[in-house]
Structure 1
């Protein structure tokens, strides 16, 4: 630790958190000239040179072993992954925005390495900073015992709690609450094609859909993210609950690593996938949380899962009807829609027990035809109008069916 106490060790040696430094400008720039991940005798070292000192925290996660560094806030654009990574004990590195005002770096470890120290030295004359994180060999058991994100009320989700049962749409006065979820974001780019990232496309479409729903006048709209930040799958669902959502729409534009596919499709939740492609898609979406450095330990609660499944018995048919309405409206608008336009799989982001939820694949970035459509403002406007029409139709039908469900 530096003598001036700028970096403070956390209460255990499993993580390190900086003290709050003096006020700085919004962004620190990572300097490639002084930044490298390199092997050391018996361990590994991460050295990052920044244009200014910023608050940070460092910790490890298990299964698979990862080193996570969070900063407030770093511009990674000048760093090149290939030149940064110069260590056999690290097999991958990712950088990007993580949440509003915070940036993240995740280093994939080839084998367990325990945190041995973290310090940031700030030049008193220029304000430039150098962060050094050292790691040493550890057994799998030692690593597992020390791994885990430090508990912080600013970062942690609120504890799960029972929510009051919401009236069905149409029973209550006022507009329907729609939560739009632009897929991916920040450190998780999603699919990529050339210079186009799925995270950017989904955010653009989400903003355009938000505007269309507001103009309609019958909807209150919230976005799970409105900038290039990472939002975990669990937090997306929690945000929908917090907003009192009547409907949850998750927007994506995937790419296939193999095979051919094109056209829009709508996915609903099921423990059994409708096809291999849907199963692989759900696995990739869930894997994004792990790759982005989310602590997934302690998430299993068998009793809670049973109770949630019971709650979904009523919600799932409503989601199915919504999905079919969206597919039909897109088809009527000229699509194109996929030949298997309504699919289902075990998507974590669709697991809100009491909120009808669908995942809309607007198209496949791996299809040149679909990518051209996704980049075409006129085509997007046509598909967005179709989604609004589908919500109007579904809302009326769901309100009419509410009486039957109560009988």
Structure 2
């Protein structure tokens, strides 16, 4: 028989050890005071503050567009999701999911896709960013879930950020449009440098076809984009009219026939200096090369159109204003890359006082740069989703 003192000591040791024995973790809860949904003019941001990090799943549903957030080992019975409802979310409710999962169903204001999802043990706040997408892109993504992560590390971004080649129009012997002692070439170089900073901050890789006020042939601008391995080509311009009035930004894509007489004249003005400098853009492609180029453009042309649409939408919602017909087409030589989606952006008209004042204003240029970055981001998400569909 054990001595009473030994039995008492054993009981005391057991008492002190009990708290250290492994126990089932308590369910995670959402802190309503630190959770919120915030909708900007374009992006919706959602933060769900947990008391500890848990595995999660994200799924899109249609009719109406919804985001389903599922949290494992979480208890949402006391959480009122209506605190999240606002300009970006039309409704929010908690559902029973079973099998140790808790489900939060969020009704979106429009079709959106998750562009970023972050959650880590060091910062147990599930942070989501959602951007608008076209209805067909959203429909293709409905039902696909991120899967149950084995660790609560942030997932990788949906796609790598695009390599963007910025092309400040004109330069050197070709000053472009001029007004009040300011010329298009210098203004577009200034804006390209500013836009590069904004795009790089958003994760894009960016190069310029020219870094100073020098003449670069149009053919060389395209070649530099190809040699760099660029994914997107943006040519930056600001027009001026000798007579008449026009105002607002316009986005052009390539077309063998111009969408109107003004577009044809503009393309001729932008290409004129290469002709004066003796550069022959027409070339003499053999038939095989031309067939290959045409095949490449069959894929690139629609992608350029979609890029232009995304930029028009973003500029119209952001910096603005847009020209009365903001989507136009013309035979710009600088847009003739067969394999790189390419558009030409006219920021406005230097000959129009209101446009000139905007383009000369650093604050407005910052808004325009942010709008272009937003449009590029949306297009890249759409383009990546469309690429998956094209491969099926």
Output the CA distance in 2 between the equivalents of 1:360 and 1:372.
18
- Structure showing the higher helix proportion among its residues: 2
- In the alignment, which residue of structure 2 is the partner of 1:398? 383
Structure 1 pair 350–297 and aligned structure 2 pair: CA distance change class (3 A): closer
Residue 195 of structure 1: CA displacement? 0.6
Hey, what does 2:176 align to over in structure 1?
190
Say whether the 8 Å CA contact 1:267–1:342 is kept in structure 2.
Answer: yes
CA shift digits 1:65-107 (9 cap, x unpaired): xxxxxxxxxxxxxxxxxxxxxxxxxxxxxxxxxxxxxxxxxxx
Structure 1 position 295, deviation (Å): 3.2
Give the Å deviation of 1:298: 7.4
Q: Distance in 2 between matches of 1:336 and 1:271?
A: 28
- Relative to 1, partners in 2 of residues 1:348 and 1:376: Cα closer, same or farther, differing over 3 Å? same
Question: Paired residue for 1:277?
Answer: 262
- SS of structure 1 residue aligned to 2:349: coil
- 1:31-64 CA-to-partner distances (Å, cap 9, x unmatched) read xxxxxxxxxxxxxxxxxxxxxxxxxxxxxxxxxx
Judging changes above 3 Å, is the alpha-carbon distance between structure 1 residues 297 and 368 closer, same or farther for their aligned structure 2 residues?
Answer: closer
Listed as ranges, the gaps of 5+ residues in structure 1 are: 1-169
Shift of 1:389: 0.4
Q: Please, which of 261, 268, 279 is the counterpart of residue 295 of structure 1?
A: 279
- Relative to the length of structure 1, the TM-score reads 0.56
- Pick aligned residue for 1:225 from 202, 210, 215: 210
How far 1:297 sits from its partner (Å)? 7.8
CA distance in 1 between partners of 2:179 and 2:286 (Å): 39
Q: Quick check: 1:267 aligned with 2:267? A: no
CA contact (8 A) 2:159 2:384 kept: no
1: distance between equivalents of 2:183 and 2:377?
Answer: 31
State the Cα deviation string for residues 240-297 of structure 1 (Å, max 9, x = none): 0001010000000011123221100000011011111111111111112122x23328
From 324, 329, 353, the counterpart of 1:344: 329
Pairwise CA RMSD? 1.8
Give secondary structure in 1 for the equivalent of 2:348.
coil
TM-aligned CA distance change 1:386 to 1:171, over 3 Å: closer
- Say whether the 8 Å CA contact 1:268–1:323 is kept in structure 2: yes
Aligned residue in 2 for 1:206: 192
Task: State the alpha-carbon separation in 2 of the partners of residues 297 and 181 from structure 1.
Answer: 17
Give the whole-Å Cα distance in 2 for the aligned partners of 1:257 and 1:306. 40
Query: Helix, strand or coil for the counterpart of 1:253?
Result: strand
In 1, the alpha carbon distance for the partners of 2:306 and 2:159 equals 23
Shift of 1:171: 11
- Is it true that 1:377 corresponds to 2:362 in the alignment? yes
In structure 2, the gaps of 5 or more residues are 1-155
Question: Counterpart of 2:215 in 1: which secondary structure?
Answer: coil
**For residues 322 and 251 of structure 1, what CA distance do their matches in structure 2 show?**
15
Contact 2:167 2:210 in 1 (8 A): yes
Query: Compared with structure 1, are the counterparts of its residues 297 and 319 closer, same or farther at alpha carbon in structure 2 (3 Å cutoff)?
Result: closer
* Cα distance in structure 1, aligned partners of 2:263 and 2:286: 25
CA contact 1:171–1:399 (8 Å) conserved in 2: no
Structure 1, residues 213-255: CA drift from partner, whole Å, max 9, x if none? 11112x1100000101110000000000001010000000011
